[in-house]
Amino acid sequence: MLTINEHYLKLQASYLFSDIAKRVAAFQAANPEQEVIKLGIGDVTNPLPPACVEAFHKGVDEMATAASFRGYGPEQGYDFLRETIAKNDFQDRGADIAADEVFVSDGAKCDTGNIQELFSTEAKIAIPDPVYPVYLDTNVMAGRTGAFKDGRFEGIVYLDSTKENNFVPDLPKEQVDLIYLCFPNNPTGSTATKEQLKVWVDYARDNKALILFDAAYEAFIRDEELPHSIYEIEGAREVAIEFRSFSKSAGFTGTRCAYTVVPKECMAYDAAGNKQAIHPLWNRRHCTKFNGVSYPVQRAAEAVYSEAGKAQCTALIDGYLSNAKIIGKAMSELGYEYVGGDNSPYVWIDGGQDSWGFFDLLLNKAGVVCTPGAGFGTCGEGYIRISAFNSEANVIKAMERLKEAMKK
């Protein structure tokens, strides 16, 4: 008799964004004349930067002739992209990262979900609350948790991110092995200073723990004092893996390209307490289960770092940050407190009511889709996340509708 992995049965009935999609579909079916403005899921709306499109086309053209055709590429990514990433994203910022420590992939979501496969199911996991659901759900699937009770899984150390700590969690009160951090944060939009990250790096070094640092939104940082990478912190090479994505910074959500950095000094331990380098383990996992990102896509990603590409990506991000300011201003005028939106495309709003109820209010009264904070964890209850990923015209229209529907 074939049996299933029963850890999957612990998962909640549906994925957050699937629930949202179902509610939106039901609303549209009942109100076909109502235009819906989606400011929920973090999907970009602007096209790829022209420099990336040009490089993409050139890459496709190379695949059209026998002389320049490429078949299977290196699973870790082509050297031209890995070297460009290492130089521009790390070395130029004073972070010591080599090209062969960069692993190109088809998405940070995949990598943040897959990385846990390298570690024992007995590892003690610390996860922020609220949190991007992938971190939690993949550990549930792997069997690192108990049952789901009172809104949380047994066996997980939750790091509360609340108004009281400015949505930057405090160190755990018990020893943990694997720590998930995300800054600029999804969903709250909060940021962490170098001093705050140094506290986490020191904790990881002192406790033989590992930090999984999601920096998918680092390109939105405009405050020059804030770190873009955890490797700007002394000692982080020993205790941190970093995840990056071209999805939000260059509009690659439908094109798919990201990367993970695993420094060679980064260690975990076997059952006997001996150090084991994580780099070769991730390389083996990557080569066994992943077949590489297509050559044209990697050429398009390389173009992000060209002079034209940098300018075009900056313009895209500036546009989304401008949208975030419009959202923040409108919510403030309506009397709602919020964080995020200045170094992040997300605005985290204290709705003062049930999250799903607030979601339904915006959808049914204004035709605007947000994301209910409760879907990110118990500390998200009472909040909603509004995304700046849409056109300026749609954001302005959405805020006008909200003002009409939500006047206090």
- As given in the structure block, the two tokens for residue 33 are 């004349």
Note the pLDDT tens digit of each residue in 191-216: 999 999 999 999 999 999 999 999 99
Structural domain of 321: 6-47+308-406
Q: What are phi and psi of 48, to 5 degrees?
A: -60, 150
* CB-based contact 283:276 (threshold 8 Å): no
The C-alpha atoms of residue 73 and residue 121 are separated, in whole angstroms, by: 32
The C-alpha atoms of residue 155 and residue 145 are separated, in whole angstroms, by: 5
Note the pLDDT tens digit of each residue in 12-27: 766 688 888 899 999 9
Instruction: Indicate if the pLDDT at residue 405 is higher than 90.
Output: no
- Residues whose CB is less than 8 angstroms from the CB of residue 68 and which lie 6 or more positions away in sequence, other chains included: 62
Domain end among 240, 274, 306: 306
| Residue 187, CA atoms < 13 Å, CB-side half-sphere | 34
> Per the domain annotation, does 273 fall within a domain?
yes
The C-alpha atoms of residue 368 and residue 345 are separated, in whole angstroms, by: 17
87 and 23: one domain?
A: no
237 and 130: one domain?
A: yes
Instruction: Indicate if the pLDDT at residue 408 is higher than 60.
Output: no
Instruction: Indicate if the pLDDT at residue 93 is higher than 60.
Output: yes
Supply the CATH number for residue 381's domain.
Answer: 3.90.1150.10
pLDDT of amino acid 12: 78
Task: Determine the longest span between alpha carbons in the chain, in angstroms.
Answer: 67
The C-alpha atoms of residue 258 and residue 251 are separated, in whole angstroms, by: 12
pLDDT mean over 320-333: 97
* CB-based contact 296:63 (threshold 8 Å): yes
96 and 115: one domain?
A: yes
Note the pLDDT tens digit of each residue in 339-361: 999 999 999 999 999 999 999 99
* CB-based contact 157:181 (threshold 8 Å): no
Q: Please tell me whether residue 216 adopts helix, strand or coil conformation.
A: coil
pLDDT mean over 223-238: 98
Domain end among 257, 275, 306: 306
* CB-based contact 11:140 (threshold 8 Å): yes
pLDDT of amino acid 14: 65
224 and 322: one domain?
A: no
15 and 127: one domain?
A: no
pLDDT mean over 258-273: 97
R_g over Cα of the chain:
21
Helix axes 392-406, 307-333, angle to 10 degrees: 10
pLDDT mean over 318-339: 97
pLDDT of amino acid 13: 65
